[in-house]
Amino acid sequence: MQAYTSLFEILNKAIEEQQTSLNTSSPKEMYEPMNYIIGLGGKRVRPLLTIVGCDIFDANPNEAIHAALAVELFHNFSLIHDDILDNAPLRRGNTTVHEKWNHNIALLSGDGMMVKAFEILGKSNAKHIPELLQLFSKTGLEVCEGQQYDMNFETQDNVSVEHYIHMITYKTAVLLGCSLQMGSICANASLESQKHLYEFGKHVGIAFQILDDVLDVYADDEKFGKQVGGDIISNKKTFMLLDAFELANEEQTKELNHLLFSKEISTTEKVKQVTALYNNLGVKELAIKEANKHTDIALKHLEELKANESKKQHLKEFALHLLNREV
């Protein structure tokens, strides 16, 4: 987005410098995977939001650069470990770290990225470090809790849509809220402003994850960058699956359970037939409606934020562009 061109330049320069540091670090077996996953790029939304959260108050965006790098390193650490837990073959259209190297190297390099994140955060302005560390540590723990909830769901039969929303709030959404709030801390923003930015980011994150679940089923596999239908193949409890169980009649429930747990159906056929059930039950449309609800909540918080009005509009446009994900 053109409004953020200069902020992206600041961010990308800092990430490139970090990659150079990783590239010359030893042992290479530990640092090469870190450099690899950062080099895969992605949209870098979270670290950008950290800089945006500072810039929106007309503060120097460089004040938030260490916080932004910490967010980017933490996010990539979580991706390495999530891919191991999900046994995922692809990340951003490329081989995952544990597939390219092995599980042990992936675990250790992920741990190293987490430690690096805190090391870099500690280089922030000294007066902001206590607040930044408290928020970052709280968020990091919540992300781990969200991942555990997600894993728990795999063996639980009584998971509700409300449980799902709570899980994705922790696993995904709180990091977007944290990213923006960390930027606002670096800008010396008021606690009220910090809260509005946090809630804006959190609800955008919830909407984003629901739409990501929709894309997992309905996306063009060349554009998605991950295995389409992966959530269905792994019986992952998503908004659509949980809604399907709530809406299905007795016959459809029996069919859905058979598709999920039968050992005789190929993965291709499983994805095809579960998707057909989703279509019949209209759960894709319900998921998009839920995502729109959280988008509206996010925009309400942005409206109430006391900050540069032009930059607020840029953030609104960026969020809406992010959520328009061809679903």
Q: 121-133, pLDDT tens digit by residue?
A: 999 999 999 999 9
CA pair distance 112, 131, nearest whole angstrom: 23
* 110: containing domain: 2-323
- Residue positions counted in the chain: 327
The Cα-based distances of 30 to 50, 85, 231 in angstroms read 27, 19, 30
User: Where residue 113 sits, what CATH number does that domain have?
Assistant: 1.10.600.10
CA pair distance 24, 134, nearest whole angstrom: 31
How many structural domains is the chain composed of? Answer: 1
Q: 95-117, pLDDT tens digit by residue?
A: 999 999 999 999 999 999 999 99
CA pair distance 280, 284, nearest whole angstrom: 10
Q: 130-183, pLDDT tens digit by residue?
A: 999 999 999 999 999 999 999 999 899 889 999 999 999 999 999 999 999 999
If we measure between CA atoms, which residue out of 151, 207, 199, 210 comes closest to residue 174?
Answer: 199
Q: What average pLDDT does the segment 253-270 reach?
A: 93
CA pair distance 236, 87, nearest whole angstrom: 13
Q: Is the pTM of this model over 0.95?
A: no
Pair 274, 168: CB distance under 8 Å:
no
Pair 168, 252: CB distance under 8 Å:
no
225 pLDDT exceeds 70? no
The Cα-based distances of 52 to 29, 125, 158, 186, 315 in angstroms read 34, 17, 40, 11, 8
Query: Binning pLDDT at 50, 70 and 90, where does residue 283 land?
Result: very high
